[in-house]
Amino acid sequence: MVLQDKYINPFTDFGFKKLFGSEPNKDLLIDFLNQVLPRKHQIKELTYASTEKLGNTETDRKAIFDLYCIGENGERFIVEMQKAKQNFFKDRSVYYSSFPIQEQAKKGDWNYQLAAVYMVGVLDFTFSEDEAEPEVRHEVQLKDQKCRVFYDKLTYIYLEMPNFIKAEAELQTNFDKWMYILQQLPNLQNRPPALQERIFQKLFEAAEIAKFTPDEKNKYEESLKYYRDLKNVVDTSFDKGKVEGKVEGKAEGKAEGKVEGKEERNLEIALQMKAKGMDINLIAEITGLSIEEVKDLQ
């Protein structure tokens, strides 16, 4: 693969961790999170923690986060860059958030006081149920039957990047600027006049492919190929399954058509991903199939 872009794609594993996952670039992550988090909870300092979380027993399923950080007051931040649509993605978000809650448990006498936990998902797709009212930022908390916040220490924030449609001339806030740069970075050849702040200048420096070592370029090429393959397989199959589900729904009953379309779509996604040599655990996670079902696919 010959790299033609000037800047890396932040939706690749390598690109995301290059920009936000290293100590020298910690200020990039802090500034980004401060635009995304509620104003009452701004970060001054954070520490990178292990991204691999194990269950209480050897047989429990583990979780591997893209980024996991702990704030100066004990707050936990999970940051996930989700490259493609995934069955049960919201379920996975809830499951992931259970780990930073459980790890706060203390031995002996403990009053169960917890530090805040934030799950931040940067999505390269949109939730299908939100198509009628497209929004960029979704903030979700536990609420009671009167829509009052029941618990304010567990928050899920999702950024649906395809819904961000502002041009450079329309950027007003730092939140706008971060959304724009995440979305448009691999398409840029020059630094836009609207993004001249110091923090963005540092991001452009870190993202310039020409400054990578040969080893970094190779790793980025592999990561970029994986991202493109995954997006092509999953997004195409999801769109196809959506159309087929609607057609079958009209002919044979709406509910039945949706179920059949979804099942066929999942199998098609799994087969294509398996043919490209992708990880079986990832295939199972995205499609909702069991690992045994994925292994048996021919």
Domain boundary among 212, 236, 254: 212
What are the angstrom distances between the C-alpha of 192 and each of 149, 163, 189, 200? 40, 21, 9, 10
Question: How far apart, in whole angstroms, are the C-alpha atoms of residue 164 and residue 171?
Answer: 11
pTM comes to: 0.80
* Residues pairing with 114 in the sheet: none
* 206 and 249 co-located in one domain: no
* 228 and 173 co-located in one domain: no
- Give, for all 298 residues of the chain, the pLDDT tens digit: 446 789 999 999 999 999 999 999 999 999 999 999 998 888 999 999 988 876 555 445 567 789 999 999 999 999 999 887 777 889 989 999 999 999 999 988 999 999 999 999 999 988 878 777 889 999 999 999 999 999 999 999 999 999 999 999 999 999 999 999 999 999 999 999 999 999 999 999 999 999 999 999 999 999 999 888 887 777 666 555 555 555 455 444 444 444 455 577 777 777 877 777 777 877 777 777 778 888 877 7
Is 5 within the bounds of a domain? no
pLDDT of residue 262: 59
Question: How far apart, in whole angstroms, are the C-alpha atoms of residue 61 and residue 67?
Answer: 18
Determine the structural domain holding residue 38 and report its residue range.
Answer: 13-212
The tokens describing 253, both together, are 């009953």
H-run or E-run covering 149: strand 149-160
* 52 and 195 co-located in one domain: yes
Domain boundary among 196, 212, 228: 212
Domain boundary among 212, 230, 260: 212
pLDDT of residue 60: 54
* 161 and 20 co-located in one domain: yes
> Would you state the torsion angle of the CA atoms of residues 203, 207, 210, 213, taken in this order, to the nearest 10 degrees?
110
pLDDT of residue 55: 57
Question: How far apart, in whole angstroms, are the C-alpha atoms of residue 278 and residue 281?
Answer: 9
Structural domain count, the chain? 2
Question: How far apart, in whole angstroms, are the C-alpha atoms of residue 248 and residue 190?
Answer: 48
Tokens 């870190």 correspond to 206
Task: Find how far residue 3's CA is from the centre of its chain.
Answer: 24
What are the angstrom distances between the C-alpha of 11 and each of 8, 141, 220, 225? 9, 26, 11, 12
Is 3 within the bounds of a domain? no
* 173 and 49 co-located in one domain: yes
pLDDT of residue 61: 57
* 193 and 234 co-located in one domain: no
* Residues pairing with 68 in the sheet: 78
* 198 and 233 co-located in one domain: no
pLDDT of residue 68: 94
pLDDT of residue 247: 47
* 86 and 144 co-located in one domain: yes
* 227 and 118 co-located in one domain: no
Is 229 within the bounds of a domain? yes
The tokens describing 241, both together, are 């399954």
